[in-house]
Amino acid sequence: MQYLSDKMSSSDPQHIKLCLLEAITEEFSEKMKIGTGGYGEVYKGELNGDEIAVKKLFPVQAVNDESFDNEFRNLKKVRHKNVLRMIGYCYEISHRDVEYKGQLVWSQVINRALCFEYMKGGSLAKHISADSCIHNWPETYNIIKGTCEGLHHLHKGEDKKIFHLDLKPDNVLLDDKLVPKIGDFGLSRLFGSSYTHQISTMKGTIGFMPQEYIHNRKVSPKNDVFSLGVIIFHMMAGANGYGDYWDARRRPNFSPKIQQEFMESIQIYWRKKMQATEDYRWDETDLLGVTKCVDMAMRCVEDDRDKRPSTEEIISEIKELDSKIDEMLKKDPKPLKVELKKRHKHRTDELEVVNQDRGLNDLGRDIAVDPCLELRFPFEPKKDISCCLQLTNKATASFVAFSINTNINKYHAQPTKGILAPCSKCYITLTLRAQESPESMQCVDVLVVQGIRVSEHFTSNEITQDFLANASTVDEVILPIVYVALNHHPI
């Protein structure tokens, strides 16, 4: 074991004997297998408490020693934080006796294996749901950014450019801190075309490779750029994200408007997802990042490869985006989680004192209403009578849209809708229009208050009944309206 430990400590991949690999993988047992790819099976091995991944390559007759040696020399020199690091290799020839035409003959067996750092987070594919990447937006953006940087490193090549030709979520691995690293790079060119170049999805056979490769086997750096775009779609809009866009692109009525609507649907999804995340403030910087990533994905999957950006252009755009976001955050820094928690606790304590009798008509997670039990009008015939309603946004990092609804023939609310900033209040004036004294002071009217989280840039004009009806979660409270008779006494 000390021999292998010494090899591991070297910065350059070293040759590792087959017998040692067999020892740490328990003879390449099923128990130690962690995956199967287009070029071999992957096993987990343990060395002095450190885990490594051992890919035992399938025996492929078409690959001769010279081809393997040339390609391997390229792969072993790759060093980048977003590219899986090769730490060792095995190349051994043995002979086995087999029966051939009734006689025993010696058959040559070539054992090839590549050893890599073990990635505890597994493949990116395990981190993508039907809707999007399962992580929050900052983590998702960092995964996208890191994958772009890793691919650019392969494409620019210090000694020789490397095209991946099999880029997909299964071949992007994550460590325990969600840092992405591209794996299986370069093996496609060595082993030729593979069935893994196409993936079946719910929308049909939509692959991670462009049409020029699928139909004509044309190879260029833009093949990988196309694959990168599909991966970003999966992270932004789920496993069916690219399939939906593919369908839209091939409709006769496809237009920039449809493309913009697709963009907006993804923006809305991420806004709602992050607004529902505790202790996070969704703002314009996040919206800018989501917009740039979707736009980038759309350009990466253009049918005309000349219209796709190069990885150099992609990295330049990411740097420009980061710079712009940094400038925006200097003017309006995001509060730290601990600050948001303190602010939330302080606000909660305050609300508990001020609104301790709110009872059942607290709107729940965001809005509190005062008065909380009923609205009382001191009734006088033929006079407009007003009362006041206070709305409080309890959320420390979310904007809330509200809507006031009642019988407009008898009551007038001002305002009827609006936006509440985090930890803010507003006052609603409700006016009972002048009317004759009713036969009975009993009133069956009610006032309905609705609230829903929205983005910072959401406007009051967007608060419509259709919007509220189609929203997934709307907080609602119903306040009874009560008339109270006034007793006049002469002075």
Question: Which residues participate in the annotated binding site for ATP?
Answer: 56
Residue 172 in 3-state DSSP? strand
- The two tokens of residue 15 are 């040759």
**Measured between alpha carbons, how far is 325 from 175 in angstroms, rounded to an integer?**
26
Pairing of strands 172-174, 180-182: antiparallel
**Measured between alpha carbons, how far is 370 from 357 in angstroms, rounded to an integer?**
9
**Measured between alpha carbons, how far is 168 from 220 in angstroms, rounded to an integer?**
17
Q: What are the distances in angstroms from CA 343 to CA 339, 348, 423?
A: 6, 8, 9
**234 within 8 A of 242, measured Cβ to Cβ:** yes
Sequence-separated (6 or more) residues with CB below 8 Å from residue 328 = 284, 285, 288
**272 within 8 A of 455, measured Cβ to Cβ:** no
Q: What are the distances in angstroms from CA 145 to CA 142, 148, 282, 314?
A: 5, 5, 19, 9
**Is residue 415 reached through a cis peptide bond, with omega within 30 degrees of 0 on the bond before it?**
yes
The pairs formed by 224-227 with CB atoms below 8 angstroms and a separation of 24 or more are 224/151, 224/154, 224/155, 224/163, 224/164, 224/165, 224/167, 224/311, 225/151, 225/300, 225/305, 225/308, 225/309, 225/310, 225/311, 225/314, 226/300, 226/301, 226/305, 226/308, 227/164, 227/166, 227/167, 227/168
Tell which phi-psi region holds residue 441, choosing left (phi > 0), alpha (psi between -120 and 50) or beta: alpha
Residue 414 in 3-state DSSP? strand
Residue 485 burial class via C-beta count within 10 angstroms: exposed 0-12, middle 13-18, buried 19 and up: exposed
CA nearest neighbour of 389 among 404, 378, 399, 408:
404
Sequence-separated (6 or more) residues with CB below 8 Å from residue 365 = 394, 395, 475
**172 within 8 A of 147, measured Cβ to Cβ:** yes
CA 116 from centre of chain: 27
Sequence-separated (6 or more) residues with CB below 8 Å from residue 355 = 362, 368, 370, 372, 392
- The two tokens of residue 144 are 């996208």
**Binding residue ranges:** 56
Beta-carbon-side half-sphere exposure of residue 149 (alpha carbons within 13 Å): 16
